[in-house]
Amino acid sequence: MSDERDVVKESLVDRFQTLVDELLVRHHSVLDVLSKLTESESRINRAVTKSVTGCGCIQIQASRQQFFDDVPYDVLHQTVSSHILGQLCHKDRETIEEEMGQLLFYLTALANLLDISLYDTLVRKYNEANTLGRYYLS
């Protein structure tokens, strides 16, 4: 079953990458794509910020993360905070999902311009993180 799911996932990623390549005409220059990618990231930051400062559906309560030596690594992620209180409302969730979609579109466009397979990149990062486990982000 896992192999079937991998084929479906690969197919979806590859199909998305092909579609982006076919659709991207206006911003085909790598400079245009890089600037659109940066703009997309900024729009995500702005949308999350507006969820806090405008709508108020979420709050950010940040403080220093506490890490304890006696907590096993496999449960450590349960002891740290995202600093987010509350849940995104439907409207803000839709906005952020739309902005993330734009980011994915332009990231895919950049991959196309540089002849990089997103599927291969995802598989490589997955295998790397899976192999290195907790040492991945060290």
The predicted-structure confidence for 51-86, as pLDDT tens digits, reads as follows 999 999 999 999 998 877 787 777 777 778 889 999
Q: Are 40 and 99 in contact (CB under 8 A)?
A: yes
Query: Residue 101 — φ and ψ, nearest 5°?
Result: -60, -40
pTM value? Answer: 0.81
- The answer to whether the CB of 108 falls within 8 A of the CB of 40 is no
Output the pLDDT for position 2: 58
At the top level of CATH, which class does the domain 12-133 belong to? mainly alpha
DSSP 27-48: T-SHHHHHHHHHHHHHHHHHHH
Closest to 88 in 3D by CA, of 61, 53, 62, 51: 51
pLDDT at 1 over 50: no
* Alpha-carbon gap, residue 82 to 62, rounded angstroms: 8
The answer to whether residue 138 scores a pLDDT higher than 60 is no
Mean residue pLDDT across the chain: 88
When pLDDT is averaged across residues 113-119 and rounded to a whole number, the result is 95
Least confident residue range of 17-26, 81-90, 92-101: 17-26
Give the pLDDT band of residue 115 (cuts 50, 70, 90): very high
Question: Rounded distance, CA 80 to CA 57, Å?
Answer: 21
Between 48 and 127, name the one with better pLDDT: 48
Q: Domain-by-domain residue ranges, the chain?
A: 12-133
- Torsion, Cα of 23, 107, 48, 123 (10° steps): 120
What is the enclosing helix (H) or strand (E) of 85?
strand 84-86
